[in-house]
Chain A
Amino acid sequence: MLFKNKISKLLVMGILLISLLVGCSSGGKGETSSSDINGNGNNGPKEINTDELIYVNFRDIRDLNPHIYGGELFAQNLLFEGLVMITDEGIQPWLAKDWDISDDGRTYTFHIRQGVTFSDGHKFDAHAVEANMQAVYDNYDRHGWLESIRLLDSFSAIDEYTFEMKLKEPYYPLLTELAVTRPFRFISPNCFINGTTKDGVDGLIGTGKYVLTENHIDQYAIFDVNPTYWGEKPEISRIIAKVIPDNQIRALALEKGEIDIIFGTNMIDAETYLEFSQKEGFAASLSNPLATRMLIMNSTDEILSDVNVRQAINAAINKEEISEGIFNGLETPANRLLARTVPYCDVDLEDYIYSLDKANSLLEEAGWKMNETTGIREKDGMPLDVQMHYNADSVTEKTISEYLQGEMMEIGLKLTITGEEEQSYRDRMKAGDFSITFNISWGTPYDPHSFLGGMRMPAVYGDYAAQQGLKEVKKLHDTILKAFISTDEIQRQAYYDYILTYLHEEAIYVPLTFERNRAIYNEKVKNVTFNPSQYEVPLDKMYIK
């Protein structure tokens, strides 16, 4: 016997195990940094730091070069500004104090704000605008999807504070495209490499409210207020953007007080949103509807090439149930491709109403007869079996797919669903290798022009490929361009009427819900609002109290 009795044995074992546990935990105590990045935020009473906001993102800020698409938009927005900005009241001045548009709609003359400098001291003037515009244009291949680049004829600095852009054709969404986060934002020409930005940049110096002070790749980035900012300085002097890839861990970090806010549709699921909206010490905000979540059907597909089948699928989907059952009412049901509130989209269309009877009669009309033994309709011996692909990384898409699979059986349609890893899913979509898949409109302020414009280009999303089986596809795409270059409001509206009506009648899209932006945050964070663009996070407007 090594020890005399059982009690002493247990005692020794207990002490050893406890000492091990204590040894581990004491190593972590007492380490707090000034900015509380360590996350031991709740150790004892602590005064609220009103100067600092801890934001969270699912990935690193990556390459913030404002002229390419590889960086996180929220971070680019903190550093770089554009000539104009989009507000709820429309296009407003920013680095351009005002502008003139020629009568033919082809020449835009911007009067540049004086007294603005980049945070490295370089003067911001019309020459800096020209250099940036040239840098964007140098990378034409990357920006070819933007009509404003395709239609750009010439541009130049007329004098120190006047900049002129000439277009080949009038293009009414130009100011919107100049206002969105990229690519028309301004970086100090001192950061250019070989006189341009297409091969990268040598610094991230903008005119924005914040400057990037530190970036620890895949960990966190620190943005401090720009001491030389030309306008009103924001209340919060330091923003720390932490990286937490996992959805659940972000929520735990918010609960613990390691982060102050989670912002964005893809960052918070409906369940977490509801949980925090009721949790003490936390608050939640929801934006107005931003974009339409929808299904897209490939009109070149053997079965789906028949408009009756497409319309039947549209009629067989209960959007109310998806809105309530899957989104807990956070997303409202959508019965049209683009909401009436989207510019030029207040068009009278006959909404698709949920009706299994209508769906069944449309399928009968199309020649699909019910096989009572299998419960699946057939036509010339071919079963009504349609493939549907979804992004397996999206919990929402998986749930909707499974729901639809059950729903479609009600009308004798067998929906075979396949989940794929996001990149494969996107590749499939762009290649047009699908029958039914998910789609989303670009959201404000890109809708309707960027969403519709994207339909004209192969490999932007799945729209181009899906529309190839439509009889009037060429006319549709030509009309989209005509709407963009029309200078007559009434004529332009007429073009949009045709586009939206045609797409609605052809039913290749199944609108499901209107997506809304969302945020959950510690109640000390005030003024959590939403910009018109869903991709922007108005961190500069928030304050802590």
Chain B
Amino acid sequence: MRNYIIRRILFIIPILIGITFISFLLINLNTSDPAEVALRVNEITPTDEAVAAMREELGLDKPFFERYIIWLGNSLRFDFGNSYINNKSVSDEMLSALPATLYLAAIALMMILGISIVAGILCAIFEDSIGDKTIRGIIFVGTAMPNFWVGLLLMWLFAVKLDMFPTSGMSGFSSVILPAATLSLSYISIYTRLIRNNMVQNKNENYVLYTRVRGLKNWTVTKHIFRNSIQSSITALGMSIPKLIAGTVIVENIFAWPGIGRLCVSAIFNRDYPIIQAYIVMMALLFVVCNLIVDIISASLDPRIRRTT
């Protein structure tokens, strides 16, 4: 197992180098000259001298690979440079926005777990009943609706008409409900279906028949079925966590949520390249690390995986 973990961690290094290189390259392929952009966003007329001075200040006068190595070295120390807009440290900006995003993602995750487990179990127990069909119908519609539209509808109904929550902003606990619900809706649909289908399959297994023959209570039987049906959902959930965090971009902008998604969108509009680069690297890191954790957990549960990888 230890060898497996070491192997997987070593495998991350080339992936991260690849990601950082591509993100650095993409930003550099942009048609706008970063030095000119840095001047323009601060309302400085980009004369030839001013551009030359800014190129030197930003280190853009150095060759591409040298710049990449310097940037990569700094990134490893979590130093992504300073924002073009306010000259503040990018790391500080990211760290101050991160808690809001993690909070939103955590509440969304709780909603996903709470609702999809309950709905999944109920649908499986009452397979093909009106209730099951209704929930599946809602799930189908929920998956099909785009985030921003769901957000607006929820806001109009629950915030404006029913006056249960604030429309936007991050204030008390009530303010996280609507954005978290918007964010979680499509995941709830996926997991409810996953749990339901696995449970329906398991219901026909011999061990279920055996437990019934033994005369165990219905609730106990359901618990056994649930435990045996949840494995695939746990694996999928591991990969949903980074997706949830990265997926906050739209929701944060609709609900005026002060997280990294909104920071990134503002940075894109302002051409604040250091923040965009840092965001790409952070998200990539998140995906890679979560993937690693899921793999390790899977491997620890199933020795076959350790041997085949």
A residues within 8 A CB of B36?
A: 427
Known: A16-B118, A218-B262. A2 touches B222 (CB 8 A): yes
Asked whether any CB of chain B lies closer than 8 Å to the CB of A343, the reply is: no
User: Once bound together, how far apart are the Cα atoms of A59 and B125, in whole Å?
Assistant: 49
* With A39-B169, A258-B166: A25-B177 Cβ-Cβ less than 8 Å: yes
Bound complex: CA A28 to CA B154 (Å):
15
Interface string of A345-382 (1 = CB under 8 A from B): 00000000000000000000000000000000000000
Among B164, B167, B222, B271, residue most surrounded by chain A Cβ atoms (within 10 Å) = B167
Report B7 CB to chain A, min CB distance, Å: 42
Alpha-carbon separation in the docked complex, A49 to B161 (Å): 23
Tell me the bound Cα distance from A141 to B38 in angstroms: 13
Task: Give the nearest-CB partner of A142 in chain B.
Answer: B44
A212-230 Cβ-contact flags toward B at 8 Å (1 or 0) = 0000111110000000000
Q: Cβ of B118: which chain A residues have Cβ within 8 Å of it?
A: 16, 20
B155 contacts A by Cβ under 8 Å: yes
Whether A245 pairs with B42 at a CB distance below 8 angstroms is no
Does B256 contact A245, Cβ atoms closer than 8 Å?
yes
Select one of B160, B163, B164, B169 contacting A242, CB under 8 A: B169
B30: nearest chain-A partner, CB-CB: A424
Q: Which residue of B lies closest to A255 (CB)?
A: B160
Chain B nearest Cβ from A336, distance in angstroms: 29
**A320 touches B (CB below 8 Å):** no
Complex: chain A residue closest to B156, CB-CB: A252
Please name all residues of chain A whose beta carbon is closer than 8 Å to the beta carbon of B288 when the two chains form the complex: none
Do B173 and A28 have beta carbons less than 8 Å apart?
yes
Q: What range describes how many residues of B lie at the interface?
A: 35 or more
Whether B165 sits at the interface, judged by CB under 8 Å, is yes
* Interface-located stretch among B20-28, B65-73, B126-134, B300-308: B126-134
* B45 A69 Cβ-Cβ under 8 A: no
Shortest CB-to-CB span from A34 to chain B, Å, is 12
Q: Do A423 and B271 touch across chains, with their CB atoms under 8 A apart?
A: yes
- Given contacts A25-B164, A69-B43, A252-B159, are A9 and B172 in contact (CB under 8 A)? no
A-B complex: 8 closest residue pairs judged by Cβ atoms: A28-B174, A39-B166, A218-B258, A31-B172, A38-B171, A13-B131, A69-B43, A2-B218
Interface residues of B (CB under 8 A from A): 31-32, 36-37, 40, 42-46, 50, 85-87, 96-97, 111, 114-115, 118-119, 122, 125-126, 129-131, 152, 155-156, 158-160, 163-175, 177, 181, 218, 222, 253-256, 258, 262-263, 266, 268-271
Residues of chain A at the chain B interface (Cβ within 8 Å): 2-3, 6, 9-10, 12-13, 16-17, 20, 24-25, 27-29, 31, 33, 37-40, 42-43, 59, 62-63, 68-70, 141-142, 144-145, 200, 216-220, 242-246, 248-249, 252-253, 255-256, 258, 393, 421-424, 426-427, 430, 457-460
